A and B are shown apart, each in its own frame.
Chain A
Amino acid sequence: MTEMWVNMGPQHPFNHGLWNLRVKLDGEKVIDAEPVVGYLHRGWEKMVESRDYQQIIPMSDRLCYCSALTWSHVYVGAVEKLMEVEVPERAQWIRVITIEIQRLASHLMWLAAVGTDLGSYTIFLYAMRERELFLDLLTNLTGARMTYNYMRIGGVRNDFPENFERDTLRACDLLEKRIKGEYYQLMDMNSAFRLRTENNGYLSKEDAMNLGVTGPNMRGSNVDFDLRRDDPYEKYDEVDFEVCVEEAGDSFARYRVRMREMLVSIDIIRQGFQKIRAGPVRVKAPRTAPVGTAFYHVEDPRGESLMYVIGDGTNQPYRLKVRSPIFVTVSAAPKMCIGYKMADIPAIMGTVDMCVGETDR
């Protein structure tokens, strides 16, 4: 068969969101690939320049509905740095706990997407079933299922509701049991799943670092780097947790990193509930920011997300720049896809955990 370009996207079952992966096929083999993003561009960075600092918080939730809390967290973190606001201790702990709950929900969403990519709706529905537990928790806490509008400049919107600790720990126990039991047997111990994910989408340590891949994708390539440990924000320096690193660099390594990270997140949530103390959860922040710049970066479920904000003395930012982890990671798609079969592409790009909302902004 002669070589041909195939457009996988922008409307295609394998890409979650609107983006296009152009692949050049020689038979079934991928010999070239080119990601095309920008179909979901909403002008977010320009749009927020005409909003107050407080009004931007719900909009930063919309960057990625799978992990809304982390995005509003990185935004309020940047603005707090700019305004030099001290966040109360309890608010910091609440942020740690809610962000880890969000990480669990986001990783479960990713697992569901991987299930459909690989053709198993069982994995999809099991993961969605567990994700519902954490969405319910966050609904109780914040009042919304996905775009929470919970972070505030100077703290969080409200304190934990009644029984929140009990419910969270129960949900975590259940998820831990399921990950170590059902998921382990259904996926890790399943020859078919291993056949699809092992030995494809190989990304070497050097490539991962040179291409700016961050987060679980980078740790899957044997780079021992986690912002929560290496540049601790909020209360992560008081939490004792393991950074999950896998050596192999293939799709299964990325899968394992995320599965282990879920267990680590459960661990962090438990520690957080032990260490949290009563106190104020929100400090009043000024409306206007001083002239100056600030940036803040956190470990998003998908990688390192960074916001750079320039204040000009008014109540609106002069410029707000978003560094999206997936926008950078997707540039590694050719490196990961070339040389493998076309049928591997869903497995490879599925384990990368695409999120187009934040990529195109």
Chain B
Amino acid sequence: MMFDYSGLYQFLYSVSSWLLWEVGRILGFIGIDSGNILYPIRQFLVDPQFVYFVALLLTALIYLVAALLFGIQFIWMERKFLGRFMDRRGTSVGFLGFFQNFADAFKVLLKAVITPKDADKRVYQFAIFAILAVSFMLLGLVPWDINWYAVNVPLALLLGLAVFSLAPFALILAGWSSNNKYTLIGGIRGAAQLIAYEVPLLLVVVSVIVMTGTLNFNEMVAWQQGNIILFIPLFIGALTFFIAGVAESERVPFDLPEAEAELVEGWQTEYGSLGWGLVMCADYLRAFIICALFSILFLGGWTGPTFLPGSVWMLAKAALVFFFMIWVRAAMVRIRTDQLLKFCWNRLLPLAVINLAVAVLIKIYAVGGW
């Protein structure tokens, strides 16, 4: 059996058809002829629709594992780099401290699940799934190479940002249902912050859309491959996107929702064990997606010298952007809520608008089909 490596879907489709064929062979379904009573089952096993369904399940599984791995890898990266920024070593369990995260993950898995007595239990549980679903869904929308993606819809960018804007809803639910004053304040702060920073984020994305004329990630990258990486003409926009992205992923200096000095752990305070572990992972996953989006929108995604595969370039660029996030975290203190929002409306929004104007001007006046 030959596997088709041309894309994630093709690969998984061939894997699942091979898998089903093998299952059928071992159970003895393959040899039976059309007269047998079990023949419909044999037909079902090789039915393309069913194979497609199994391939979908496989994709989901792979994305789940990949998401957790990306989260863990970014936590590791943050630990090591932040350590060096602060004149210390960071974690050093196992090879370069890489196993610390797995140890932490297992520890979190083994903790008892405790729900606060007065919490609204259903909403409390649902909020975790909402946050997780939002983050994982975003991961599914981001392509890693020209053919490596889970879904490739024409309006991928729009869909992604729509999914992103669901997060404040989940935050408020989590903060309210925990029945704790800290989580309540944290949830409301989080919602205010995410909603506010969505605006400059969207405006910057609009400027990219103006430049490339498409909403599809693949075509955006193809446009940048053909012309110029957008970081150079849209420098202001890239900066704005970066700052707004840091705020969207709730990291220092904009980690107001979970400001541990005054709000213990913000809206996550009452979550424990696996719930907290998943929320934490989703946090880093969101940071990771922001980095991936940044590299697709401004750094040309998977384009790069061909001695490395495209997905490696993509990951490297995302890691580079994350390095800057860590750097900013090391050099800054947390901003206050009102200052945060003021900064958004007074500074970032004008910058985003200027950036949009720049994009439009370039689009109109630049030569050579730009």
Name A residues whose Cβ lies closer than 8 Å to a Cβ of B: 1, 4, 6, 8, 12-14, 25, 28, 115-123, 125-126, 129, 186, 190, 192-193, 195-196, 341-346
With both chains docked as a complex, state the minimum distance between the C-beta of B81 and any C-beta of chain A, in angstroms.
12
Q: How far is the CB of A41 from chain B (nearest CB, A)?
A: 25
B336 part of interface (Cβ distance < 8 Å)? yes
Known: A13-B261, A196-B334. A119 touches B255 (CB 8 A): yes
- B interface SS class: helix
Binds A, one of B82-90, B103-111, B112-120, B143-151: B82-90
Q: Which 9 A-B pairs have the closest CB atoms?
A: A119-B334, A346-B261, A118-B333, A125-B86, A120-B333, A343-B336, A192-B332, A14-B261, A117-B261
Q: Is B37 an interface residue (CB 8 A)?
A: no
- Known A-B contacts A119-B252, A119-B253, A120-B333; the reply to A195 vs B261 at CB < 8 A is no
Given contacts A119-B252, A119-B255, A125-B88, contact A195 B335 (CB under 8 A): yes
Number of A-B contacts (CB under 8 A): 78
CA distance A195 to B339 in the complex (A): 8
A14 to B253, CA, bound (A): 17
**Which of A1, A13, A123 neighbours the largest number of chain B CB atoms within 10 Å of its CB?**
A13
Assess the B86–A119 pair: CB atoms within 8 A: no
Question: In whole Å, how far is A121's beta carbon from the nearest beta carbon of chain B?
Answer: 6
Q: Please report B residues at the A interface, Cβ cutoff 8 Å.
A: 82, 85-88, 181-182, 185, 188-189, 252-253, 255-256, 259-262, 264, 330-339
**Residue contact B185 to A192, C-beta cutoff 8 Å:** no
Q: Given A342-B185, A342-B262, are A122 and B330 also a contact pair (CB < 8 Å)?
A: yes
Q: Is the CB of B181 within 8 A of A343?
A: no
Given A121-B86, A195-B336, 19 extra CB contacts under 8 A: A6-B181, A6-B182, A13-B261, A25-B185, A28-B337, A119-B259, A120-B333, A122-B86, A126-B86, A190-B333, A192-B253, A192-B335, A193-B333, A196-B336, A341-B336, A342-B185, A343-B256, A346-B261, A346-B262
Instruction: Given A125-B87, A195-B339, A342-B185, check contact A118 B334 (CB 8 Å).
Output: yes
Chain B residues whose CB sits within 8 angstroms of the CB of A12 once the complex forms? 264
Q: How far is the CA of A116 from the CA of B253 in the complex (A)?
A: 13
Query: Which residue of A is nearest B261, CB measured?
Result: A346
Alpha-carbon separation in the docked complex, A8 to B260 (Å): 12
Would you give 22 A-B contacts (Cβ < 8 Å), ordered by A? A6-B181, A13-B261, A14-B262, A28-B189, A28-B337, A28-B338, A116-B261, A117-B261, A119-B259, A121-B86, A122-B330, A190-B331, A192-B332, A196-B335, A341-B336, A341-B337, A341-B338, A343-B259, A343-B336, A345-B262, A346-B261, A346-B262
CB-based contact B333/A192 at 8 Å: yes
Q: How far is the CA of A120 from the CA of B330 in the complex (A)?
A: 7
- For the complex, give the distance between the alpha carbons of A12 and B338 in Å: 23
CB proximity of B188 to chain A, nearest CB, Å: 8
Complex interface: chain A residues within 8 A of B185 (CB): 25, 28, 342
Q: Are A344 and B336 in contact (CB under 8 A)?
A: yes
Contact status of A120 and B332, CB under 8 A, knowing A28-B338, A125-B88, A126-B87: yes
- Across the interface, which residues of A come within 8 angstroms of B333, CB to CB? 115, 118-120, 123, 190, 192-193, 196
A8 & B253 in contact (Cβ 8 Å cutoff): no
Measured CB to CB, the closest approach of chain A to B184, in angstroms, equals 9
Q: Which residues of B contact A343 (CB under 8 A)?
A: 256, 259, 262, 334, 336-337
**Which residues of the other chain, B, contact A28 by a CB distance below 8 angstroms?**
185, 189, 337-338
The residue on B at minimum CB distance from A15 is B261
Closest chain B CB from A33 CB (angstroms): 13
Give complex CA distance A64, B126 in Å.
Answer: 47
Shortest A337–chain B CB gap in Å is 11
A8–B332 touching, CB < 8 Å: no
Residues of B contacting A342 with CB < 8 Å? 185, 262
Question: Are B331 and A8 touching (Cβ within 8 A)?
Answer: no
Most buried by A among B185, B260, B333: B333
Cα separation A196 to B87 with both chains bound (whole Å):
24
Given contacts A28-B338, A119-B253, A192-B253, contact A8 B262 (CB under 8 A): yes
Closest chain B CB from A245 CB (angstroms): 25
For residue A118, which residues in chain B have a CB less than 8 angstroms away from its CB?
A: 261, 333-334
Report the bound CA distance from A341 to B189 in whole Å.
Answer: 13
Report the Cα distance A343→B340, complex, angstroms: 11
Closest chain-B Cβ to A115's Cβ sits at a distance in Å of 8
> A13 to B264, Cβ gap below 8 A?
yes
- Chain B residue, CB-CB nearest to A4: B181
Contact status B261-A129, CB under 8 Å:
no
Task: Verify A129–B87 contact, CB threshold 8 A.
Answer: yes
Q: Complex formed: what's the CA distance from A341 to B334 in Å?
A: 14
Once bound together, how far apart are the Cα atoms of A162 and B52, in whole Å? 80
Residues in A neighbouring B256, C-beta threshold 8 A: 343
Bound Cα distance from A346 to B336, whole angstroms: 11
CA distance A13 to B262 in the complex (A): 7
Q: Which residues of B have CB within 8 Å of A346?
A: 261-262
In the docked arrangement, what's the CA distance between A119 and B335, Å?
9
- List chain A residues, Cβ under 8 A from B253: 119, 192
Q: Which partner residue on chain B sits nearest A185 by CB separation?
A: B331
Of all chain B residues, the one with the shortest Cβ separation from A191 is: B332
CB of A181, distance to nearest CB on chain B (Å): 14
A338 to B331, CA, bound (A): 30
Whether A186 contacts B331 by the Cβ 8 Å rule is yes
B334 cross-chain contacts in A, Cβ below 8 A = 118-120, 196, 343
On chain B, the residues within 8 Å of A196 by CB distance are 333-336
CA distance A341 to B337 in the complex (A): 9
Determine the distance from Cα of A125 to Cα of B168 in the docked complex, in whole angstroms: 33
From A121, which residue of chain B is reached at the shortest CB distance? B86
Q: Which residues of B contact A121 (CB under 8 A)?
A: 82, 86
Residues of B within 8 A of A4 (CB): 181
Report which residue of B189, B264, B332, B339 has the largest number of chain A beta carbons within 10 angstroms of its beta carbon. Answer: B332
A251 to chain B minimum Cβ distance, whole angstroms, is 12
The residue of chain A having its C-beta at the shortest distance from the C-beta of B189 within the complex is A28
